[in-house]
C-alpha cells in the first residue's frame, strides 16, 4: 500500500484506498453496462488519406453517444482529439474500439467514470 501511495503521490493511504474503490465501482458499471461518461483521446496524423472522413463517419454512426469533440494541433502533421462521450458502457467501448482501430490512429484510449 505504501508503494502505491508513493508511486501515485497520494497525500495519504486513505486517498489511495478511495481511488482503488472508485476504480472498482467504475469497473463494475462497465461490466453491468450501465450509463457512464468518459472521453476518447486519440492522436493521429491528419494528412493520412481518408482518415478524417473515416473518423467522421464513425462519429456520425454513434452521434447519440458523443457530447462534444475538441481538436488540438500538436505539430504540423500531428493532432490530438478528445471526444466527450456518455452512454451505456459497452457502447462506449465499441465506439472507442472502432475509432482507435481506424487506420492512421497513432494512439488512442478510452477513459470512463460512473455518473
Q: How confident is the model at residue 53 (pLDDT cuts 50, 70, 90)?
A: very high
Q: pTM, whole model, 2 decimals?
A: 0.80
Q: Which CATH architecture has domain 34-114?
A: 2-Layer Sandwich (3.30)
Share of the chain above pLDDT 90, in %: 63
SS3 letters across the chain:
CHHHHHHHCCCCHHHHHHHHHHHHHHHHHHHHCCEEEEEEEEEEECCCCCHHHHHHHHHHHCCCCEEEEEEEECCCCEEEEEEEEEEEHHHHHHHHHHHHCCCCEEEEEEEEEEC
Q: Break the chain into its structural domains and give their ranges.
A: 1-32, 34-114
Mean pLDDT of 5-11: 80
Weakest-pLDDT range from 4-8, 39-43, 61-65, 111-115: 4-8
Amino acid at each position: 500500500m505504501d508503494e502505491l501511495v508513493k508511486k501515485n503521490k497520494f497525500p495519504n493511504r486513505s486517498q489511495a484506498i478511495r481511488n482503488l474503490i472508485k476504480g472498482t465501482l467504475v469497473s463494475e458499471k462497465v461490466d453491468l453496462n450501465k450509463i457512464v461518461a468518459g472521453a476518447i483521446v486519440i492522436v493521429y496524423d491528419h494528412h493520412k488519406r481518408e482518415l478524417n472522413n473515416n473518423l467522421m463517419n464513425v462519429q456520425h454512426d454513434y452521434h447519440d453517444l458523443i457530447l462534444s469533440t475538441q481538436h488540438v494541433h500538436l505539430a504540423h502533421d500531428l493532432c490530438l482529439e478528445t471526444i466527450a462521450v456518455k452512454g451505456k458502457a459497452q457502447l462506449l467501448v465499441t465506439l472507442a474500439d472502432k475509432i482507435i482501430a481506424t487506420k492512421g490512429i497513432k494512439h488512442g484510449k478510452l477513459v470512463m467514470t460512473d455518473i
